[in-house]
Amino acid sequence: MSAGGLEVDLEVPGRVRAAFSARPGRVVALIGPNGAGKSSLVHALAGLVPAQGRAHLDGVDLLPLSAREREVGLVFQDRALFPHLTARENVAFGPRSRGVPRRVARERADHWLGRMGLPELAGRRPRQLSGGQAQRVAIARALATEPRLLLLDEPMAGLDVGVAMALRLELARHLRDYDGVTLLVTHDAIDALTLADEVVVLDEGRVAQEGTPDDVAAHPRTDHVARLVGLNVLRDQEGFTSFRPRDVTVSLRRPEGSARLTWSGPVASAQQHGDAVRLLVDTRPPLLADVTPQAVAELGIAPGREVWLSVKATAVRRYGAVPEGR
């Protein structure tokens, strides 16, 4: 076991069981559907939920420590800024609680608010801040305690698309400079791809996949990730098969010809996707298919209509049978 970074092998009974590790300075994205155990895992690492097992941070086991004794910063999903304190007082709260003199804590708060680009908002209360500003204050508050592990629980949740994009870029810059471990809970593939060095996929309370963002995006092993990155993934005894929705051909009759995989089922939904229309078809399992708007009109596609899907064997990728074991 290495001394630096995060080594986790823990269980929150009934919620999640996960093992993974991260070196200092790395950003790990934790993705998975609702109920996969992401928040439980994060709260267990913060010390807010009891857990069994071990979670070593720079060689120190966190689990026997109370929340306040851990060198862990948590940015809550709903931010949880203290509504009765100003932005500066919010950020200074951590240092003050750890015994830093009032004046020094204030200076440190101003420093962090400055780094987050909010020096002029120090005197405002949370309700006077926009969503993006409040999220920056929340991040500054977590970082001001100089944690060795930074936990970000859905930091972009509830923000407008443009605001989220700006915050994502800014966060990427800060995380590059941060020498502790960052654990980023997200349900957004863009967050994982742009911010993370590694991705841990949780599904039904277990680690379903682990790898670099590129690898996970190219070889998804769960329906959730497949949907996130817009790929079709099929699972069988020998491994996984994936293909892009635009490589799928849609027809009303069973397609002829060799070297094709075929399925049939009713159209469940149709949505604009770029300049194509993305169909979700209720085959077993459900698959995505991109067709042109003209094809939709010609084939008379509407929800409930039975269609055949096929894909050329050459457009299909097959990979690993056994998830990388830990």
Partner 1 sequence: MTRDPLGRPPAALMVPAAVAVLLLVVPLVAMVAATDWATLPEQLTSEPVLDALRLSVVTSTAAMLVCLVLGLPVAWLLARVAFRGRGLLRALVTVPLVLPPVVAGIALRSAFGRTGVIGEPLLELTGFAFPFTTWGVVLAHVFVSLPFVVIAIEGALRSADPVYDAASATLGATRWTTFRRVTVPLAMPGILAGMVLGWSRSLGEFGATITFNGNYPGTTQTMPTLIYVARQSDQDAAQALSLIMLALSIAVLLLLRDRWLGTP
Residues in contact with partner 1 by the rule CB under 8 A: 46-48, 66-68, 70, 72-74, 76, 78, 80, 82-84, 93-94, 97-98, 141-142, 145
Residues with Cβ within 8 Å of residue 177, at least 6 apart in sequence = none
Sign of CA dihedral 50, 54, 58, 59: positive
Query: Which of 168, 147, 39 is closest to 94 using CA atoms?
Result: 147
Minimal distance, residue 209 CB to partner 1, in Å: 29
* Angle between helical axes of 161-177 and 131-143 (0-180°, round to 10): 20
Number of C-beta neighbours around residue 249 at 10 A: 17
Complex with partner 1: residue 94 or 213, whichever CB lies closer: 94
Complex with partner 1: residue 47 or 220, whichever CB lies closer: 47
Complex with partner 1: residue 150 or 301, whichever CB lies closer: 150
Sign of CA dihedral 12, 15, 20, 24: negative
Minimal distance, residue 19 CB to partner 1, in Å: 23
Minimal distance, residue 134 CB to partner 1, in Å: 13
Complex with partner 1: residue 133 or 222, whichever CB lies closer: 133
Complex with partner 1: residue 10 or 75, whichever CB lies closer: 75
Minimal distance, residue 14 CB to partner 1, in Å: 18
Q: Do 94 and 145 form a contact (C-beta atoms < 8 A)?
A: yes
Complex with partner 1: residue 91 or 233, whichever CB lies closer: 91
* Angle between helical axes of 102-115 and 87-97 (0-180°, round to 10): 130
Minimal distance, residue 219 CB to partner 1, in Å: 35
Minimal distance, residue 175 CB to partner 1, in Å: 19
Q: Give dist(CA 280, CA 260) in Å, integer.
A: 20
Residues with Cβ within 8 Å of residue 304, at least 6 apart in sequence = 266, 267
Q: Which residues pair with 7 in a beta bridge?
A: 21, 56
Start-end of H helices in 52-101: 87-97
Minimal distance, residue 141 CB to partner 1, in Å: 7
Complex with partner 1: residue 23 or 98, whichever CB lies closer: 98
